[in-house]
Structure 1
Amino acid sequence: MPDLCFDAYSGLTNDVTLYGGKSAFTQLEHNIVAGYLITAGVISLFSNIVVLLMFWKFKELRTATNFIIINLAFTDIGVAGIGYPMSAASDIHGSWKFGYAGCQIYAALNIFFGMASIGLLTVVAIDRYLTICRPDIGQKMTMQSYNLLILAAWLNAVFWSSMPVVGWASYAPDPTGATCTINWRQNDVSFISYTMAVIAVNFVLPLSAMFYCYYNVSATVKRYKASNCLDSANIDWSDQMDVTKMSIVMIIMFLVAWSPYSIVCLWASFGDPKTIPAPMAIIAPLFAKSSTFYNPCIYVIANKKFRRAIIGMVRCQTRQRITINSQVPMTTSQQPLTQ
């Protein structure tokens, strides 16, 4: 879930006014949050830029599947490069300092990049399912097919992030006064319908699709192993298991990062926002923001091709052989885009 629920604790005080009013938190707490955002932003920008440099330097990494990862890196860079600095500057200032227009832009972009990230993770799961469970379909996938799936993820993000701008719910500063998100102070039918729609379309549905895909991937791999026919399948299993393992870890970390935030969302929607503990109201969304910098770590830890690419960059090698030789034909998702 993107930054929908920062305002879950809007009932903390009646002194919070829009755009520069008194914050519900102390300046020390603002400074701590600013320090976290600055640190997380630097780490996220650096690590995701390194990921993009790897794709630029090593053409063996430029496959259809990894093209989805490139798009994920851009969503993380978007949040770290735009959202983090504005929020950190406001925390140092003690309240939102970019006015109404800045609030609308900030909130819309954060929700846009967050929802695009969820959509792209769903596309990764679909790719794993087609490649491993339905190779008859996976081998027919073209780059145009992948581009359409990726475009759908971005267009879905555009739709949901623009709705509060045109009147379905609205954007406003949160109780910290230093971040903008959905306006919980107007807990009306418009807000509730928008929130429930976002939870259904951009959380429950994607997670259901991911679970279905990875459950079937796991069952298919077990079936092949039990029948000792991995080598006869038209799949480069060494490479595909690496990519699948990386994808599953990304989904698990997504759940770990966003589950506390989702609990705050549901609590505020169906309960009394005033009863949400202050630490939970501020820590849950900050914890969720960690999703912008853990993905690059997962790429390197869970995928040996990424590890080899990192080593090649550290050693300043002009070229490093990354491709795993295989005697079986490659699916579209495995083939370099330059071929």
Structure 2
Amino acid sequence: MKHGRVMELPEDFWIPVPLDTNNITTLSPFLVPQDHLASSGMFYVLALYMFFVFVLGTSINALTILCTVKYKKLRSHLNYILLNLAVGNLLVSCVGSFVACCAFSVKYFIFGPIACKIEGFLVTLGGMVSLWSLAVIAFERWLVICKPLGSFVFKPDHAIACCIFTWVFALIASLPPLFGWSRYIPEGMQCSCGPDWYTTNNKYNNESYVIFLFSFCFAVPLATILFCYSQLLITLKMAAKAQAESASTQKAEREVTRMVIFMVLGFLVCWLPYASFALWIVNNRGQPFDLRLVTVPSVFSKSSAVYNPIIYVLLNKQFRSCMMKMMGMGGGDDEDSSTSQTSVTEVSKVGPA
């Protein structure tokens, strides 16, 4: 749009960069390729990457669900939460990554405005479920290993309640744009949909919704993760110091430390760019920015469907051995399962002095 011209505000989209037109509808991301926003090569690279995320994310998360259904030994309280994480990730990869792959390949959102709202809602829902599941996993590890409640035992019923909690919170976060608090529109290079954080419009109150998402769905889970894992590391280090001669305790401490680092880094890589850029836009209205910089955080958040299962599932010996067995490559299932169970028992016995 040219500066100084009065522009209409379309109901279903908004392209927040200067465009050489008086009628933004003629450049609708639902009607024409968005070649004016980036080169064709950029669109095709992102389409290829989204295809990779779709195939890998769908495969790993679907396999996680199938393994949990098939093998009874995987139905522990922690694995119920991992299963919930896989369902959220599967929703993101099947809907978000697939739709983005198709849209990037033709350089515009070919599915139309209604599909955009559906995709934006489902991806936000799945993303929030997986995000809150990460916080619940951290909370569960804190309860089981640090034992802040003394003799309290975390049971499968508690895990199921926590899974329900993640879906309730995810619905609280993802439903408002369908009812007028913000809206779901094409974002970045206009080939995937998410909440509108671009326009200043009292009708949608986008600023308050973005601040709500940042606080409720990023800051709170991140604070939970950092607190729980910091307490976990402190407890394990104290146990390792008290049992300096125990090789198994020292090994458990090193393994958990490494896992915690991967968990926190994975969370930040997936969600920090998206949350930070949304907050920056809200606090810098009118500042120019490259839409490709908006697309990268969106792609990173969808990539969580791959990062999360690699960190939380494939590095879990029980899940890994069951997956290999299901695919006909398992030979050391019993050994791995025994080793995993011994490690879990060793770590779970650690408690404050």
TM-score by length of 2: 0.79
CA distance in 1, matches of 2:163, 2:173: 16
1:90 alignment partner AA: A
Shift of 1:294: 1.9
Relative to structure 1, the CA distance from residue 130 to residue 273 in structure 2 (aligned partners, 3 Å threshold; closer, same or farther) is: farther
Distance of 2:257 and 2:64 partners within structure 1: 18
Change in Cα spacing, 1:123 to 1:237, as seen in structure 2 (3 Å) is farther
CA distance in 1, matches of 2:298, 2:76: 33
State the alpha-carbon separation in 2 of the partners of residues 109 and 239 from structure 1.
Answer: 38
Report SS of the residue matched to 1:181.
strand
Instruction: Provide the rounded CA distance (Å) in 2 between the counterparts of 1:112 and 1:138.
Output: 35
For structure 1, which runs of at least 5 residues remain unmatched after alignment?
1-6, 334-339
Alpha-carbon distance between aligned partners in 1 of 2:245 and 2:158, rounded to the nearest angstrom: 27
Does 1:10 pair with 2:16? yes
Q: 1:12–1:154: structure 2 CA closer, same or farther, 3 Å change rule?
A: farther
For residues 102-128 of structure 1, give each alpha carbon's deviation from its aligned partner in whole angstroms, at most 9, with x where no partner exists. Answer: 111000011111111111111001101
Matched, 1:286 2:331: no
* Alignment equivalent of 2:226, drawn from 203, 211, 217: 211
- Kept in 1: contact 2:133–2:166 (CA 8 A): yes
Question: Which of 123, 142, 149 does residue 110 from structure 1 map onto?
Answer: 123
Structure with max Cα Rg? 2
Give, in whole Å, the separation in 1 of the partners of 2:148 and 2:285: 49
Q: Runs of 5+ in structure 2 lacking a partner? A: 1-12
Which secondary structure does the structure 1 equivalent of 2:321 belong to? helix
Equivalences for 1:20-35 in 2 at 5 Å?
Answer: 20-21=31-32, 23=34, 24-35=37-48
Residues 165 and 192 of structure 1: CA distance in aligned 2, closer, same or farther (over 3 Å): same
Q: 1:196 to 1:283 in 2, by over 3 A?
A: same
Q: Is the 8 A contact 1:60 1:323 kept in 2?
A: no
**Counterpart position of 2:82:** 69
Q: Distance in 2 between matches of 1:300 and 1:148?
A: 21
2:209 maps to 1:194: yes
1:1-339 counterparts in 2 under 5 A? Answer: 10-13=16-19, 15=24, 16-17=27-28, 19-21=30-32, 23=34, 24-134=37-147, 136-137=149-150, 139-189=152-202, 190-228=205-243, 246=259, 248-272=261-285, 274-299=287-312, 302-316=315-329, 320-321=333-334, 322-324=337-339
Number of equivalences: 324
Equivalent residue of 1:169, what SS?
coil
Residue matched to 2:6: none
1:276 CA displacement: 2.4
2:77 and 2:154 in contact (8 A); partners too: no
Tell me, yes or no, if the aligned pair for 1:243 and 1:303 is still in contact at 8 Å. no
| 3-state DSSP of counterpart to 1:95 | coil
* Match of residue 8 from structure 2: none
Q: Distance in 2 between matches of 1:96 and 1:129?
A: 43
RMSD: 3.4
* Distance in 2, Cα, partners of 1:103 & 1:32: 22
1:72-117 CA-partner distances (Å, limit 9, x unpaired) = 1111111111122222222223211222211110000111111111
Given that 2:61 and 2:86 are in contact with CA atoms closer than 8 Å, whether structure 1 keeps it comes out as yes
Letter in 1 for 2:17: G
Query: In the alignment, is the contact (CA less than 8 A) between 1:34 and 1:87 conserved in 2?
Result: yes
The CA deviation at 1:256 is 1.9
Three-state SS of the structure 2 residue aligned to 1:104 is: helix
Distance in structure 2 (CA, Å) of the matches to 1:36 and 1:151:
32
Q: Which has the higher contact order (CA 8 A, sep 6+)?
A: 1
Q: What residue number does 1:4 align with?
A: none
Report which stretch shifted further, 112-121 or 302-311.
302-311
Segment of structure 1 superposing worse, 286-295 or 47-56: 47-56
